[in-house]
């Protein structure tokens, strides 16, 4: 059974088709959920809640564009909605910024697990903007719309996230902590 047939079967609430779709995309979506979560447990909750939404709203998928991209948007929106519900998003406003310095991109020679761990430990407002803009490729306009902030605030939060990442990486490099290069 091809993907289109599986989607159509899911629209008819076929549990076996839902299970196959879940198995096809769960690992990729879990990795995505980890980027927007503070812990593995939170990522697992976001994954499960996201797939519940996928199957509840699968009738809305019109076979235009990528099904994986559609699922990805649902997973991101699920994580963002949870933050909104908990009032965790205390975003830095553009007018609170003075003298922000633009940051060069970090070296790409650092292990991915190390970088993801550093990103995961950013303050929520910085981590969300960083993930949406840098890792998922959304524009500042799209990030602003998704988070209910201005484009300037998105840009300033990204700049602060980069500054904080740079500082933490530099501290690790100059301190006694070792980074495991593979």
**Taking the domains of the chain in order of start, what are their residue ranges?**
3-85, 94-174
pLDDT at 90: 45
Mean pLDDT, range 169-179, rounded to an integer? 71
99 has a pLDDT exceeding 90: no
Residue 132 CA to residue 128 CA, distance in Å, equals: 6
59 has a pLDDT exceeding 50: yes
Mean pLDDT, range 177-182, rounded to an integer? 47
Please, what is the average pLDDT of the chain? 83
97 has a pLDDT exceeding 60: no
Mean pLDDT, range 156-174, rounded to an integer? 90
Which pTM value belongs to this model?
0.66
pLDDT category of residue 177 using cuts at 50, 70 and 90:
low
Please state which CATH number belongs to domain 94-174. Answer: 1.10.10.10
pLDDT category of residue 66 using cuts at 50, 70 and 90:
very high
Domain with residues 3-85, CATH architecture: Orthogonal Bundle (1.10)
- pLDDT tens profile 100-157: 333 334 444 677 778 888 888 899 889 999 999 998 889 999 999 988 899 999 999 9
- pLDDT tens profile 145-164: 988 899 999 999 999 999 99
């Amino acid at each position: 059974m091809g993907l289109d047939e599986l989607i159509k079967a899911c629209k008819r609430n076929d549990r076996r088709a839902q299970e196959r779709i879940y198995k096809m995309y769960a690992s990729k979506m879990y990795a995505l959920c980890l980027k927007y979560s503070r812990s593995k447990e939170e990522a697992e909750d976001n994954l499960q809640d996201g797939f519940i939404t996928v199957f509840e709203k699968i009738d809305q998928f019109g076979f235009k564009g990528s099904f994986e991209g559609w699922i990805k948007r649902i997973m991101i929106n699920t994580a963002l909605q949870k933050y909104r519900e908990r009032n965790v998003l205390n975003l830095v406003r553009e007018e609170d910024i003075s003298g922000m310095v633009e940051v060069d991109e970090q070296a790409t020679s650092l292990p991915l697990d190390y970088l993801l761990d550093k990103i995961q430990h950013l303050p929520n407002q910085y981590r969300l903007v960083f993930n949406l803009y840098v890792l998922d490729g959304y524009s500042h306009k799209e990030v602003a719309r998704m988070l209910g902030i201005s484009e300037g605030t998105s840009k300033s939060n990204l700049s602060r996230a980069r500054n904080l990442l740079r500082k933490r990486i530099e501290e690790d490099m100059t301190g006694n902590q070792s980074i495991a290069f593979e």
